[in-house]
Structure 1
Amino acid sequence: MKLWVIEALKYLGGAGWLRMSVNKYEQELKASGSMLYTWQYDLRWAAQQLRNEKN
C-alpha cells in the first residue's frame, strides 16, 4: 500500500486525495477479497506510516 500512496502523491504533485490509486488498482482490489472493503482505511494507514517514517 505504501507504494500506491507514493505513486499517487507523485501523480498528484505531492499532495491530494488518494482515490486515483483505487482507479488504477481496481482489478487488484476486487481480486484481493476483503481489501476491496478496507482499501480506504488501508491507504490512510499507509499514508500515516509514511508520514511517521519521515519524522
Structure 2
Amino acid sequence: MYRIIYSSLRNPQFMAKDIAFMLKSAEENNKKVGISGLLLFGNNQFLQVFEGFVDLF
C-alpha cells in the first residue's frame, strides 16, 4: 500500500463553497482508481492523506 500525507495553506481565492466541489470531485475520481483519502481543514490549512494499492503517485 502507498500512502502520501501532506499539508498546505489555503489559497486566499479559495472559498468555503469550493471545498464541497473539491470533495465531490475527489471522491468520484479517487473511487475510479482505487484511492481512499482524508481531508482536514482548519486555520486556513489543509491536511490531506491518500492511500491506495496502485502506484499512481
**What TM-score, normalized to structure 2?**
0.34
Where relative contact order (Cα < 8 A, 6+ residues apart) is larger, the structure is 2
Larger proportion of strand: 2
**What TM-score, normalized to structure 1?**
0.35
Larger radius of gyration: 2
